[in-house]
Amino acid sequence: MKNKVAELISAQVESLSKEEILSLIEIPPKTEMGDFAFPCFKLAKTYRKAPQAIAAELKEKMENASFLSKVECLGPYLNFYVNKQEMARQIVENYKNCKNYGGAEEKNSKTICIDYSSPNVAKNFHVGHLRTTIIGNSLNNIYRKSGYDVVRINHLGDWGTQFGKLIVAYKRWGSQQAVENEGISELMRIYVKFHEEAEKDDSLNDEARSWFTKMEHGDEEALSIWRWFREISLKEFMSVYKMLDIDFDSYDGESFYNDKMAAVIEELKEKGLIKVSEGAQIIDLEEYGMPPCLITKKDGSSLYATRDITAALYRKNTYHFDKCLYVTGLEQKLHFAQWFKVIELMGYDWAKDLYHVPYGLVSLKGGKLSTRKGNIIYAEDILNESIQKTRSIIEEKNPDISDKEEVSREVGIGAIIFNDLYNQRIKDVVFDWDKILNFDGETGPYVQYTYARAASVLRKIGDKTDEIDYNVLTDDTSMALIKEIERYPQAVKDAADRMEPYIISRYAVALAQAFNKFYHDCQINVLEDNIRNTRANIVEIVKNIIKDALSLLGIKCPEQM
């Protein structure tokens, strides 16, 4: 409809392209002001007239279009009132004719790599890692729906000086039995112990650096301990991924690139980018307003930037990506800006296809989380607590529901995911259980409950036909719902373009709110066949879109709640 209005205006306004007109068209703040409004301010200079006069002139020239009931001038705006029956028909038929409503009908032959989750081996999977995992998974779903091939990469933090620290800690304060029995918890205990002791004795840090250098040089004792730590960690990570129903195409972590870095460092030297500073190899970025990018330490060991540059080159050569996204915290902004610039300085034009997708902190009692100090909130604990709290609510509200355990899991985990994705990712996330698990607020349970309500309506109606009487849908409440149905494809597109899953979650709430008003205002299971069938068809469309939208966020929809 918006396109049709733009075409109508474009036939009379030669100074603006159809795309420019489309960008100017607004949705009036009140329904009585029409469905679309075109502001004439931008035409004042070309026409050399007041916007009000231009709007009046354009109104006289507007053709009688069958999809419009009338066109009016409201000051400097030209307001268009769409024929409601025709609008409902177009939107519903457009939905019915789409194989993948809101997404691409065919694959677009483009590939996106998404680097997300990436927990550190031998450290607990805490709520900070939960954020990157949830955001990355949603972006994966959104891009797949939009026709892309997506490579899901879990770039495990399984290399670096911290493993030298862990080996020292294990040898001094740990035991094989304790690690076998307690897993990551024991590794975390000795890791925290190391930092406590290193504050008193700095020589421990030298010892740790020495062990990491041994790892990089292939020392079998160092590597066998490291492999053991990695295996124990992955087992625990997988339990969280199973709860979230998340998988990856690659678990190649930092260690995978250990034997590939020498060639990259040599390339940096050949291209004249490396400088030596106090024994360390660096790339000077002062010209670009950034501190130097460290490539190797004075002892020759690598750093995060070395491994990230190597990984980017490997991914480009292996996956031939059109975009590569890195979903990490905002605090790593400088790190990514530095090595993205290095890729550019190496002469690779695809540096422009690298994107840092930052997010804010998780706000919880105790402030910012730190694995070094030990004040950690584990992701698995948060998910289990949400499931338990949801189970208590269901026991109170609907104790006879079948599949109580499964519904508790779907709603409890969905509530955590939705809470994370409800605002722009750059904003901090706060855990407020009363808000997260509210069945009446702008929450995951509210949207899931709306889906269950739609499913219940359709079960009660039973058999229906596909026939739709569009006259039944011309009331304001039905039209508001129809317009929300139409908005879904644009919401998916905007979410993909802006790398912002919150656009989908906000849309899901708006659709649920419009449906619940429709449910309240428009009786569905009535005697008149045309009304019952028409409204039941709309209920089914809404149900399907809610399920699809929540699936893009990584949330499931129970049929009963």
DSSP 473-525: G-SHHHHHHHHHHHHHHHHHHHHHHHT-THHHHHHHHHHHHHHHHHHHHS--S
Sort strands 68-74 and 77-82 into parallel, antiparallel or unpaired.
antiparallel
Based on the domain organization, do 125 and 75 belong to the same domain? no
Distance in angstroms (rounded) separating the CA atoms of residues 68 and 85: 10
Based on the domain organization, do 226 and 348 belong to the same domain? yes
Final residue belonging to a domain, choices 82, 103, 135: 82
Residue 352, domain CATH: 3.40.50.620
The two structure tokens encoding residue 335: 């790190």
Q: Is 126 a catalytic residue?
A: yes
Based on the domain organization, do 37 and 172 belong to the same domain? no
pLDDT of residue 326: 98
- Active-site residue, selected from the candidate residues 18, 61, 99, 123: 123
* Residue 465 DSSP class: -
Based on the domain organization, do 537 and 497 belong to the same domain? yes
Residues pairing with 358 in the sheet? 328
- 523 lies in some domain: yes
Which backbone phi and psi does 437 adopt, to 5 degrees?
-100, 20
Distance in angstroms (rounded) separating the CA atoms of residues 343 and 339: 6
| Spatial contact of 4 and 21, defined as CB atoms under 8 Å apart | no
Residues pairing with 329 in the sheet? 359
The two structure tokens encoding residue 238: 């997988």
Helices 184-198 and 161-173: angle between axes, nearest 10 degrees: 90
- 219 lies in some domain: yes
Residue 503, domain CATH: 1.10.730.10
Sort strands 280-283 and 293-296 into parallel, antiparallel or unpaired.
antiparallel
Residue given tokens 């039905």 in the structure block: 478
Based on the domain organization, do 197 and 308 belong to the same domain? yes
Based on the domain organization, do 199 and 241 belong to the same domain? yes
The amino acid that residue 196 corresponds to is: E
- Active-site residue, selected from the candidate residues 2, 18, 45, 126: 126
Final residue belonging to a domain, choices 82, 98, 126: 82
Based on the domain organization, do 385 and 343 belong to the same domain? no
| Alpha helices, DSSP H, located in 271-378 | 304-319, 333-345
Name the residue range of residue 452's domain: 379-553
Based on the domain organization, do 400 and 449 belong to the same domain? yes
Which backbone phi and psi does 382 adopt, to 5 degrees?
-60, -45
- 428 lies in some domain: yes
**In a structure prediction context, what are the per-residue pLDDT tens digits for the chain, which is 561 residues long?**
889 999 999 999 999 999 999 999 999 998 889 999 999 999 999 999 999 999 999 998 887 788 899 999 999 999 999 999 999 999 999 999 999 999 999 999 999 999 999 999 988 888 889 999 999 999 999 999 999 999 999 999 998 889 999 999 999 999 999 999 999 989 989 999 999 999 999 999 999 999 999 998 899 999 999 999 999 999 989 999 999 999 999 999 999 998 999 999 999 999 999 999 999 999 999 999 999 999 998 888 778 999 999 999 999 999 999 999 999 999 999 999 999 999 999 999 999 999 999 999 887 654 454 444 445 678 998 899 999 999 999 999 888 898 999 999 999 999 999 999 999 999 988 888 888 899 888 999 999 999 999 999 999 999 999 999 999 999 999 999 999 999 999 999 999 999 999 999 999 999 999 999 999 999 999 999 999 999 999 999 999 999 999 999 999 999 999
Distance in angstroms (rounded) separating the CA atoms of residues 40 and 54: 7
Residue 38, domain CATH: 3.30.1360.70
Final residue belonging to a domain, choices 60, 82, 104: 82
**Domain tally, the chain:** 3
Residue given tokens 């690298």 in the structure block: 354
pLDDT of residue 554: 98
pLDDT of residue 161: 86
- Active-site residue, selected from the candidate residues 18, 45, 96, 129: 129
Based on the domain organization, do 324 and 240 belong to the same domain? yes
pLDDT of residue 367: 47
Residue given tokens 């030297």 in the structure block: 269
- 138 lies in some domain: yes
- 270 lies in some domain: no
Residue 534 Cα distances to 58, 102, 256, 276, angstroms: 37, 22, 57, 74
Based on the domain organization, do 182 and 316 belong to the same domain? yes
Based on the domain organization, do 459 and 351 belong to the same domain? no
Q: What value does the CA radius of gyration of the chain take, rounded to a whole number of Å?
A: 29
| Spatial contact of 444 and 417, defined as CB atoms under 8 Å apart | yes
- 297 lies in some domain: no
Based on the domain organization, do 386 and 353 belong to the same domain? no
- 104 lies in some domain: no
3-state SS class at 68:
strand
pLDDT of residue 373: 47
The amino acid that residue 183 corresponds to is: G
pLDDT of residue 366: 46
Q: 42: number of CA atoms within 13 Å, CB side?
A: 13
- 349 lies in some domain: yes
